[in-house]
Amino acid sequence: MTRRGILGTALAAPAVTASPAGAQMPRPFFHMRRNGDYWYVVDLKGQPVYLTGMNHLGDGSVYPFDLKNQHSSWENWVRSVRSDLIDWGFNYLGPTGASHARSKRYLSLAERKGHVISTAEWSAERYEALDYPFTLMIGLPGKPNPDVFSEEFRAAIDDRCRQVCTRLKDNPQLIGYHFTHNPPWSYLNLAWRDMTTWIDPIVNVPNSPARRKWIEVMRRIYGTIDRYKLLYYPLKDWDQLLTVDMPMHGVSGYGWVRQDQIAFIREVGKEWYRVWHESIRRYDTNHLILGDRNTVHFTILPTYILDVMYPYVDALCINMMGTAEQMMRNLRDVLMYWDKPIFPADTGARAWDGRGEKSGGKMASDEEVGQAYWDHLRLGAEHPQIIGIAWCSYWETTVHHSGVRDAVTGKINAVVVNEMRKANAWAQRELRRKTGVTG
């Protein structure tokens, strides 16, 4: 028996457990519902919940500094973190991995040069010990920007999802899976990467699956080799295009070449989201698929990729280090096309002290940071598609965008945390009022 998810895609029937009377009852998992115009998440008790989370906790190998003396064990540290999150009104733990996980402030000069510590996502066993709602970043195996049309890519994604999802498929505390950070979908380079960083390396390989897909797309657009060669190479036939150097080197009409690249990156996106979706669902039919986290303060999220991802993800997830107003401006074009849930899954700000090491939304004071958090939650309460927010991050260091606890001293930023506590409680009350659920 199959059921239809919010995407309209066929999903396997939910897992069941026996009640005391022996009857078969659905096992609860986080899922989404719609109430009129409003999307919202439903928790394990069947209650509407506005997601409020913390990201980048790390695995204890870097933060907190001197874990053994401060907490004596990893388990004690996790209990301490969970207690903080509950006290502050957060209801889930975001992806734990940190790719910039140690502050230069605390390193010697010899250690600083080229020193970046990356911590992986937690194991399934650690999430079991956490016993608290969470989301997970599966992560791309192998090199970035793979040839998505190759069998190697499909096998690698399938293997990664098998390893991750098989162990987590029955964990009711898992809300859903993210894929990766920031696939380069954009045709503009705004202090980040544009789509050519993906297209060029894979299409330039002669006889590669990507080269064959490029030819397929060009034949669809141009019809004949004679029309194609007016813009590109003076080729005798399509087969010759399999082996020439730099097949996308246009000799005229740069605007048209760019349009051809957009047509191709859409095909990359179709395969990317299809393979991820099918691989996850092969091993886990219970949890939400949250897709990539796209950083909208570095680049634009082009509308041509939205219809490509639409059938394969349960929400559009974004990173936004800035104000709620900035986020809405950056999503202006997106909101003309996207009518499903939106999840700002990594956002933050911090008081600016003039040092270039600190990034993210820069505020004049901790009070402004607290108010910026309020602004995001008020926007989420009013906007029909926004289902929550995740803060970047638990640790306050010179290399994270924002944070609330110092990694060395353990001191909590009470000004920011107090506002977060009040805002988080308000957001849950507001969602219940909006949905009419008061229990």
Are the CB atoms for 387 and 375 separated by under 8 Å? no
Of 163, 179, 90, 64, give the one whose Cα is nearest residue 123: 163
pLDDT surpassing 60 at residue 70: yes
CA–CA dist 289, 310 (Å, integer) = 11
CA–CA dist 194, 205 (Å, integer) = 19
Residues 212-247 pLDDT 10s:
999 999 999 999 999 999 899 889 999 999 999 988
**Mean per-residue pLDDT, 54-79:** 87
CA–CA dist 331, 335 (Å, integer) = 6
- pLDDT value at position 321? 86
pTM beyond 0.75: yes
Are the CB atoms for 341 and 387 separated by under 8 Å? yes
**Mean per-residue pLDDT, 75-84:** 94
User: What DSSP state is assigned to residue 98?
Assistant: B
Of 95, 90, 65, 87, give the one whose Cα is nearest residue 77: 65
When pLDDT is cut at 50, 70 and 90, the band that residue 400 belongs to is: low
Backbone φ, ψ for residue 145 (5° rounding): 55, 60
pLDDT surpassing 60 at residue 169: yes
pLDDT surpassing 90 at residue 60: no
Fold entry, domain 51-193+268-428: TIM Barrel (3.20.20)
pLDDT surpassing 50 at residue 404: yes
What mean pLDDT value characterizes the chain? 86
CA–CA dist 323, 318 (Å, integer) = 13
Are the CB atoms for 347 and 376 separated by under 8 Å? yes
Helices (H), 230-317: 254-283, 306-309
pLDDT surpassing 80 at residue 137: yes
When pLDDT is cut at 50, 70 and 90, the band that residue 289 belongs to is: very high
pLDDT: which is higher, 224 or 362: 224
Residues 81-92 pLDDT 10s:
999 999 999 999
As given in the structure block, the two tokens for residue 285 are 């039919």
Q: Are strands 38-42 and 48-49 parallel, antiparallel or unpaired?
A: antiparallel
Instruction: Please list, residue by residue across 28-51, b when 16 or more beta carbons sit within 10 angstroms of its beta carbon and e when fewer do.
Output: bbbbbeeeeebbbbbbeeebbbbb
pLDDT surpassing 70 at residue 115: no
User: What DSSP state is assigned to residue 144?
Assistant: S
CA distances (Å), origin 173, targets 86, 159, 390, 394, 410: 15, 23, 16, 20, 27
User: What DSSP state is assigned to residue 230?
Assistant: T
- pLDDT value at position 337? 94
Of 46, 36, 28, give the one whose Cα is nearest residue 438: 46
As given in the structure block, the two tokens for residue 202 are 């894979």
Number of H helices, E strands in the chain: 13, 19
Partners of residue 31 on adjacent β-strands: 42
Contact partners, residue 57, CB within 8 Å, separation at least 6: 63, 81, 93, 96, 98, 393, 394, 395
When pLDDT is cut at 50, 70 and 90, the band that residue 354 belongs to is: low
